[in-house]
Structure 1
Amino acid sequence: MFKKILIANRGEIACRVIKTAKSMGIATVAVYSDADRDAVHVEMADEAVHIGPPPAAESYLVAEKIIAACREAGAEAVHPGYGFLSERASFCEALEAEGIVFIGPKPKAIRAMGDKIESKKFASDARVNTVPGFLGIIEDADQAEKIADEIGYPVMIKASAGGGGKGMRIAWTRDEVRDGFDRARSEARSSFGDDRVFIEKFVVEPRHIEIQVLADGHGNCIHLGERECSIQRRNQKVVEEAPSPFLDAETRAAMGAQAVALAKAVDYQSAGTVEFIVDKDRNFYFLEMNTRLQVEHPVTELVTGIDLVEQMIRVAAGEKLRIAQDDVKLSGWAIESRLYAEDPYRNFLPSIGRLTRYRPPAEGRDGDVVVRNDTGVTEGAEISMFYDPMIAKLCTWAPDRLSAIDAMSDALDAFVVDGIEHNIPFLAALMRHPRWREGRLSTGFIAEEYPDGFAPVAPNDEERAVLAAVALAIELLRRDRLDRLCDRLAPHSGAVKTDWMVRLDDDYLPVQVVEGMISLPLEMDISVDGAEPVTVSSDWRPGEFVWSGKVGGRRVVAQLRTALNGTRIAWKGLSVYARAMLPRIAELDRLMPKKLPPDTSNMLLCPMPGLVVSINVTEDQEVKAGETLAVVEAMKMENVLRAERDLTVIKINAHPGDSLSVDAVIMEFE
């Protein structure tokens, strides 16, 4: 077994690999750029080597610097994680030339499966089901249009060297093919240094289901069941689960058999993933094979009990698999939510900045529920514009799917992140979405269910009652604390006024305390809007960011943030301004004028921190609705900003190459 390995990556995946290596008694070496000098993975490793400036192209993507770090630290092997150099055959060969082991597959498999065009040809020859398409090199947009016409719409335009949703476009018409071809090539060139694209048939109502394979260098290969990854945005996975709620035993066995056959055909050695598109009739088609550890591997580990990183290390060290196919048993259900630094209320645009608060829920087992949080950040860390915006991967396991979803809902509600925008509100709302809970999924789920983008959902009557009860409980304890601090009552009686009014945004609900005294832990009976009294209990203390307790026997976990004269409560994707008042104060509160936001309707504001790629209009130009105004790149994704109505450009404030902050004025209109 290896004595020391280097992790050629950063963030949560570097931390993940370090944890397993340490449990195996293997020393670890981290590498870091200037931006990651104080990163968690650097602190966790036994040693750390500096490899350059923040841009990945000058640090994490430079094979020579990784190899030099191996020499400096005396590392015997390299685990690449995912992304960066993990699927570059030349890197694997360069390591071998230096006598350093690559913890992953051999160059032959990487080359065969790493190129999407070649992998589909290979899969077709191996009699693996493939999607109809054109796998050759497409020279220009004219050829792309002709090919799309022959295949039939809709089609998917994809970067050959792509991944992570970059360099991908769906085209429903000839016009969209030309624009999508240009954008896909541009993104592919920027992200991968390779602008080749191919076109294939887009499967309507598709589900993205992948099979985890594991193979050694002695001819043994098994699969560890499937993961459903259909909840995606811009072809980027957001939520994954294992197993799939859609597959039956027969389809699972057939997909597993094809995945194993393909892995054996390329003499695969390590952990890998064969991805399939599955239609509504459970027909499945090969999509690609990822010759590396997947981001979503924790859900497979949770349902199988198999540490994939450990298996990768053992295989790379020349060991035989100790697990046979019959040993693989799927137990319970696991959900993974990817926490991204992005603003769900602004079409999920990236957000950067410092984590002023970062307090994830407690990990471990609590009864029948397991919580796991794979992360590479801590409070005070900075989310940089140079790297992927993922903050953490929050996972829950439970005996069945709905229990795992409910556990995820509570864990998300308890996950405190401040300082940047993040997608926890969206993930929390998703956990209560009826279609998600029923398992009726497709890769178009987000676009179909949120066609106008994600917006705060208005609470129903039952939820309003719960929020009102929580708001009153907060206010009673806050007032009690102030009374004690000010020594207004000595000794304090614990008595409480009975009649209250709770404001939830613009609604006012009468709330009555039926029975109980102010004490910790709190327990009292409350009636909301004349309904039957319910018992509210909690051990929450003023100043804590998470309220945890029960309302009418229902477990409630909600996040609290101080707002003007009140509290903002976030719960299950809901977000409301709440204020509990005495009735007379509520009468006066209704009379207070509202402050209106400034009018920016005649401005194009930069929706995220980013780099201006192009300005597509000129001053005094008349523009029609839907026309492109500018393109802004953020975190390697190009975002096209279009006119929402007919207008005339009167002033342009930004130019290509400019770095803009959020809400910077790009141009003004008449």
Structure 2
Amino acid sequence: MFKKILIANRGEIACRVIKTARKMGIKSVAIYSDADREALHVKMADEAVNIGPPPANQSYIVIDNVMEAIRKTGAEAVHPGYGFLSENSKFAAALEAEGVAFVGPPRGAIEAMGDKITSKKIAQEAGVSTVPGVMGLIEDAEDAVKISNEIGYPVMIKASAGGGGKGMRVAWNDGEAREGFQSSKNEAANSFGDDRIFIEKFITQPRHIEIQVLGDKHGNCLYLNERECSIQRRNQKVVEEAPSPFLDAQTRKSMGEQAVALAQAVDYCSAGTVEFIVDGERNFYFLEMNTRLQVEHPVTELITGIDLVEQMIRVAYGEKLKLKQKDIGINGWSIESRLYAEDPYRGFLPSIGRLSRYRPPAEVAEKDRAVRNDTGVFEGGEISMYYDPMIAKLCSWAPNRSDAIAIMRDALDEFEIEGIGHNIPFLAAVMDHPRFMSGDITTAFIEEEYPDGFEGVTLGDDALRRIAAAASAMHRVVEIRRARVSGRMDNHERIVGTDWVVTLQDRNFAVEISADREGSTVNFDDGTTCRVTSDWVPGRSLALIEVDGTRMPLKVDGRTEGFRIRYRGADLDVTVRTQRIAELAELMPEKIAADTSKLLLCPMPGLVVSIAVSEGDEVQEGQALASVEAMKMENVLRAERAGVVSKINARAGDSLAVDDVIMEFE
């Protein structure tokens, strides 16, 4: 077996590979840019080599720099993770010339499958059903419009060398085809160094289901079931699960066999993924093959018990697969939530900064439940503008889907992240959504269920009542501490009130609380009661509370008159007051927000790519005003209403912070 492996990647996937290498007794080498000098993968590896400045095109995807790190450390093999150089045939060729093993497929398979146009032709020849489209490359925007009309709208404009949702746009008309072509071309050039574009029919109401394949160098290949990846935003997967709640055994077998046939057509070895679109009748169409490890591979590992990274390493070393197709079963259900550094309340725009708090839920692996967290960050670390905004991949496992969802709900509630914007509230909302719980999902789920964006979660009456009970019990603990600190405690008598008004989500709950050694009983003015038990103490940011036997992990921050409480995606300002103070509070005027309607504000930290208008221009609703690039994604900012540009405060090349003024209107 290899004695030393270099991981040509960063973040959580680098950490993930290091863990398996350590388990196998293999030393690991990390590479890092100047921005990642203190990164977690650098700390975890046995050795680490600096390979250049922060931008990926000056460090992580510079083949010469990576090769020099290999020579310097004497690494015998390279695991590329995903993204960066993982599907770069030139990198595989450079390793081959150096006599270093590539923990991935042969160069020919990368070239054949890594190019989306070529892969579709091979799939057709192998008898795999494919999505209607034009395989030829698109020369310019007008050519894109012509082809789009021939195929028929809607169409998907895609980067030939793309992946991870980069360089992809859906166009519903000629204008969107022109604009989407240019944006996709720009993103493809920046992310992959390859700006070739092709167009295919966009199938409405589709499911995105993929098959995990695994092959060795001895002609053996098998499939490890499927993953449902239909919860997507901007073509980027957000929630994945295995197996799919939609497939039956026959469809699963057919998809698996076609995936294996395609892999064998290019002599594929290592782990790879064949992605399909599946319609409502379970007809499936080949999308692309990813010749690498997928981001969502943990859910497959959790339902099969197979360490895919270990299998990749063993295959690269030349070992035969010890597994047969009959050995691959489905044990339980697993769900993965991708935690991103983005602000769900501002259109999911990227967020950067320092993680002032990063406390994941405890990882567990028990008979009837498991929680796994693949991450590449730590408390005090920084989320950089240079790389993908992923913070962690949180996974749950249980014997069935409903229990896996329940475990994920609690894990999200227990996950503490402060200092940056993040999408935990949105992920929690998805887990509680009736359509998701039923399994009735398509790739249009987010677009259809959140057409105006995510505006937070509104909790039902039962949840509000339980939180009110919990808040009153916590407030009692806070008041007792205050009394002790101030010296108002006499002979252990509690000079603390028992009657309060708890206000949250525009609801008032008048309560009376009585406590004993085991907990507190909260009596509501309508005659109902709640029993609250907890060991929470003031200052603790996570309260594990039971209300009438229901476990409620609450993220808690103290406030002058109560708490900020986050639960199930809701962010609540909870006040606990005496009845008289509550009456007076009702008379206080509401604060009016500042008027920013005549300003175009930068919605996220980023680089101005272009300004599309000039001072004095009249603009119409929906007109493109500027483009801002952040975390490898180009975002077009549009006019919300008609107006006249009075002043432009930024220009192409400027780096802007959140809410910096880009332009002003009359």
TM-score band by shorter chain is over 0.9
Q: Give the AA of the match of 2:288.
A: E
Displacement after TM superposition at 1:655 (Å): 0.7
Q: Deviations over 1:478-509 (max 9, x none)?
A: 11112222232133235753321001143322
1:285 to 1:617, Cα distance in 2 relative to 1, 3 A = same
Q: Deviations over 1:571-598 (max 9, x none)?
A: 1011110011111121122222332222
Q: Give the AA of the match of 2:201.
A: K
Q: Match for residue 74 of structure 1?
A: 74
Q: Give the AA of the match of 2:113.
A: M
Q: Match for residue 544 of structure 1?
A: 540
Q: Match for residue 436 of structure 2?
A: 436
Q: Match for residue 342 of structure 1?
A: 342
Q: Match for residue 578 of structure 2?
A: 582
Q: Secondary structure at the match of 1:281?
A: coil
- Aligned CA RMSD, in angstroms, stands at 1.2
What is the distance in 2 between the residues matched to 1:490 and 1:328?
A: 68
Contact preservation (8 Å) 2:619, 2:644: yes
What is the distance in 2 between the residues matched to 1:658 and 1:642?
A: 18
Q: Match for residue 29 of structure 1?
A: 29
Displacement after TM superposition at 1:146 (Å): 2.0
What is the distance in 1 between the residues matched to 2:404 and 2:649?
A: 49
What is the distance in 1 between the residues matched to 2:62 and 2:278?
A: 37
Q: Match for residue 163 of structure 1?
A: 163
What is the distance in 2 between the residues matched to 1:512 and 1:213?
A: 60
Q: Give the AA of the match of 2:282.
A: R
1:48 to 1:376, Cα distance in 2 relative to 1, 3 A = same
Q: Secondary structure at the match of 1:18?
A: helix
Q: Give the AA of the match of 2:515.
A: G
Structure 1 position 629 matched with structure 2 position 625: yes
Displacement after TM superposition at 1:192 (Å): 1.6
Greater shift after overlay, 361-370 or 411-420? 361-370
Structure 1 position 599 matched with structure 2 position 595: yes
Contact preservation (8 Å) 2:483, 2:496: no
Contact preservation (8 Å) 1:605, 1:664: yes
Instruction: Give the share of equivalent positions with the same residue, in percent.
Output: 64
Q: Match for residue 657 of structure 1?
A: 653
Greater shift after overlay, 495-504 or 584-593? 495-504
Structure 1 position 426 matched with structure 2 position 426: yes
What is the distance in 2 between the residues matched to 1:366 and 1:139?
A: 55
Q: Secondary structure at the match of 2:477?
A: helix
Q: Give the AA of the match of 1:574.
A: A
What is the distance in 2 between the residues matched to 1:68 and 1:99?
A: 14
Structure 1 position 567 matched with structure 2 position 563: yes
1:669 to 1:100, Cα distance in 2 relative to 1, 3 A = same
Q: Match for residue 328 of structure 1?
A: 328
Contact preservation (8 Å) 1:341, 1:391: yes
Displacement after TM superposition at 1:531 (Å): 4.3
What is the distance in 1 between the residues matched to 2:654 and 2:495?
A: 61
What is the distance in 1 between the residues matched to 2:505 and 2:145?
A: 51
Q: Match for residue 524 of structure 1?
A: 520
Greater shift after overlay, 483-492 or 292-301? 483-492
Displacement after TM superposition at 1:218 (Å): 0.5
Q: Deviations over 1:366-400 (max 9, x none)?
A: 56210000001100000000110000000010111
Q: Match for residue 4 of structure 1?
A: 4
What is the distance in 2 between the residues matched to 1:523 and 1:336?
A: 35
Q: Secondary structure at the match of 1:374?
A: strand
Displacement after TM superposition at 1:365 (Å): 2.8
Q: Secondary structure at the match of 1:237?
A: strand
Contact preservation (8 Å) 1:157, 1:197: yes
Structure 1 position 54 matched with structure 2 position 54: yes
1:367 to 1:542, Cα distance in 2 relative to 1, 3 A = farther
Displacement after TM superposition at 1:141 (Å): 2.1
Contact preservation (8 Å) 2:335, 2:405: yes
Q: Secondary structure at the match of 2:519?
A: strand
Q: Secondary structure at the match of 1:410?
A: helix
Q: Match for residue 316 of structure 1?
A: 316
What is the distance in 2 between the residues matched to 1:430 and 1:604?
A: 30
Q: Deviations over 1:509-568 (max 9, x none)?
A: 21122x423x5xx61121334142121111111111111121122111111123453211
What is the distance in 2 between the residues matched to 1:649 and 1:33?
A: 41
Contact preservation (8 Å) 1:215, 1:321: yes
1:614 to 1:496, Cα distance in 2 relative to 1, 3 A = same
Alignment of structure 1 residues 258-277 onto 2, 5 Å: 258-277=258-277
Contact preservation (8 Å) 2:156, 2:171: yes
Contact preservation (8 Å) 1:468, 1:528: no
Q: Deviations over 1:420-479 (max 9, x none)?
A: 000001001111000000001111110100000001222221121012112112211111
2:635 to 632, 639, 659: 639
Q: Secondary structure at the match of 1:52?
A: coil
Q: Match for residue 610 of structure 2?
A: 614
What is the distance in 2 between the residues matched to 1:613 and 1:441?
A: 35
Q: Match for residue 43 of structure 1?
A: 43
Contact preservation (8 Å) 2:425, 2:569: yes
1:356 to 1:147, Cα distance in 2 relative to 1, 3 A = same
Contact preservation (8 Å) 1:241, 1:335: yes
What is the distance in 2 between the residues matched to 1:560 and 1:26?
A: 42
Contact preservation (8 Å) 2:479, 2:496: no
Q: Deviations over 1:137-194 (max 9, x none)?
A: 1112222222222212211111101111111111122232222222211221222222
What is the distance in 2 between the residues matched to 1:488 and 1:564?
A: 19
Q: Give the AA of the match of 2:637.
A: L
2:529 to 521, 525, 533: 533
Contact preservation (8 Å) 1:469, 1:536: yes
Could you tell me which runs of 5 or more consecutive residues in structure 2 were left unpaired when the two chains were aligned: none
What is the distance in 1 between the residues matched to 2:149 and 2:42?
A: 51
What is the distance in 2 between the residues matched to 1:650 and 1:564?
A: 43
What is the distance in 1 between the residues matched to 2:459 and 2:328?
A: 43
What is the distance in 2 between the residues matched to 1:596 and 1:576?
A: 19
Alignment of structure 1 residues 406-485 onto 2, 5 Å: 406-485=406-485
Displacement after TM superposition at 1:408 (Å): 0.5
Q: Secondary structure at the match of 1:362?
A: coil
Q: Give the AA of the match of 1:54.
A: P
Q: Match for residue 382 of structure 2?
A: 382
Structure 1 position 556 matched with structure 2 position 584: no
Contact preservation (8 Å) 1:468, 1:502: yes
Greater shift after overlay, 494-503 or 366-375? 494-503
What is the distance in 2 between the residues matched to 1:245 and 1:531?
A: 43
1:367 to 1:508, Cα distance in 2 relative to 1, 3 A = farther
Contact preservation (8 Å) 1:484, 1:492: no
Alignment of structure 1 residues 222-241 onto 2, 5 Å: 222-241=222-241
Contact preservation (8 Å) 1:205, 1:279: yes
Q: Secondary structure at the match of 2:83?
A: coil
Q: Match for residue 95 of structure 1?
A: 95
What is the distance in 2 between the residues matched to 1:629 and 1:96?
A: 48
What is the distance in 2 between the residues matched to 1:562 and 1:506?
A: 19
Count of residue pairs the alignment pairs up: 666
Q: What is the TM-score when the length of structure 1 is the normalising length?
A: 0.98
What is the distance in 1 between the residues matched to 2:129 and 2:496?
A: 69
Q: Secondary structure at the match of 2:51?
A: strand
Contact preservation (8 Å) 2:489, 2:495: no
Contact preservation (8 Å) 1:511, 1:530: no
Q: Give the AA of the match of 1:632.
A: V
Displacement after TM superposition at 1:101 (Å): 0.4
Q: Match for residue 668 of structure 1?
A: 664
